[in-house]
């Protein structure tokens, strides 16, 4: 089954929520854990126990695992395997982007069956040209996985590139949206090429009407975006939108029951 179809099923079962696993040093400290690979492992596996089988998607942030070297990457591999074993979709937030054989190597690592770093989807950057993502798109299609392409992020620095207008009158962000829409043409219920669009933007100056793919919306919760903000940006139907909550849930650790209660509260808020 293709990624878009599996994601649609997961959203129908669990609601449109993506929970992040971000083992930030400050969170490790607040959980009373050591700032090393052992503390990282305890943090991450507690999250797996709390979230596995309870939400549509879990998104481990690769950088916080890589910061601990090979032992940290080994923890990430276990997180991916354990979550997928629980039936939970895994979006590896790695934001990879390169050209040619190097992009193909990233695709092999994150999108090829049998790779220990391959979840169900990965975030990628299109800012070497959307065509540079072809190896990732091809690998994803071959293995039934998906990609989420950075389109319109909420960091202030992003606007100078993403909102720049090209010779055809479109913003760079809109050109990325249009390329993703072409890749998803004819997909039902959702395509395999998603976009990353910040939930805290305030207003949406790109047209997503032809996308036919999922939208990852980081910034929900602790970063300030509310359900009302999501509906103002994306409309009342959030079935194809994945609000991402990380710190707003993770601050309730380290008790598994408290983390689950926090997830349930966020899920209920999205149903209102």
Nearest CA to 62 out of 104, 115, 22, 12 is that of 22
Strand, coil or helix: what is 165? strand
- pLDDT score for 272: 64
- pLDDT score for 71: 98
Spans of the chain below 70 pLDDT? 222, 272
In sequence order, which residues have a C-beta less than 8 Å from that of residue 98 and are 6 or more positions away? Answer: 106, 128, 132
- pLDDT score for 225: 85
Distance CA 120, CA 213 (A): 15
pTM for this predicted structure:
0.97
Instruction: Show the beta-strand stretches assigned E in 128-192.
Output: 146-152
Pairing state between β 241-245 and 193-197 = unpaired
- pLDDT score for 69: 98
The end-to-end CA distance of the chain, in Å, is: 31
Pairing state between β 193-197 and 121-124 = unpaired
**What tokens were used for 83?**
């979550």
Residues found in the chain: 272
What positions carry a catalytic annotation? 95
Going by the DSSP 8-state scheme, the letter that residue 220 receives in this structure is B
The answer to whether the bond into 254 is cis (omega within 30° of 0) is yes
**Cβ-contact 147, 111 below 8 angstroms:** yes
């Amino acid at each position: 089954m293709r990624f878009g179809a599996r994601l649609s099923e997961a959203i129908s079962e669990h609601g449109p929520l993506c929970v992040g696993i971000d083992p930030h040093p400050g969170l490790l400290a607040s959980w009373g854990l050591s700032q090393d690979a052992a503390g990282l492992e305890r943090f991450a596996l507690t999250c797996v126990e709390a979230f596995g089988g309870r939400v549509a998607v879990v998104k481990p942030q690769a950088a916080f695992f890589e910061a601990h070297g090979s032992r940290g990457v080994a923890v990430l591999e276990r997180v991916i395997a354990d979550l997928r074993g629980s039936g939970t979709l895994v979006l590896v937030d790695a934001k990879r982007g390169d050209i040619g054989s190097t992009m193909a190597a990233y695709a092999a690592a994150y999108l090829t069956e049998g790779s220990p770093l391959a979840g169900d989807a990965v975030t990628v950057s299109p800012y070497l040209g959307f065509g540079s993502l072809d190896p990732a798109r091809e690998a994803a299609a071959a293995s039934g996985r998906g990609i989420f392409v950075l389109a319109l992020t909420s960091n202030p620095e992003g606007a100078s590139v993403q909102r720049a207008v090209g010779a055809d009158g479109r913003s760079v962000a809109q050109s990325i949206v249009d390329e993703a829409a072409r890749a998803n043409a004819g997909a039902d219920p959702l395509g395999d090429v998603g976009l990353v669009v910040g939930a805290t933007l305030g207003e949406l100056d790109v047209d997503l009407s032809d996308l036919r793919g999922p939208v990852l919306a980081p910034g929900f919760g602790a970063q300030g975006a509310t359900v009302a903000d999501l509906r103002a940006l994306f409309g009342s139907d959030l079935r194809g939108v994945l609000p991402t909550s990380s710190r707003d849930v993770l601050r309730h650790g380290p008790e598994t029951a408290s983390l689950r209660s926090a997830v349930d509260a966020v899920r209920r808020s999205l149903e209102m």
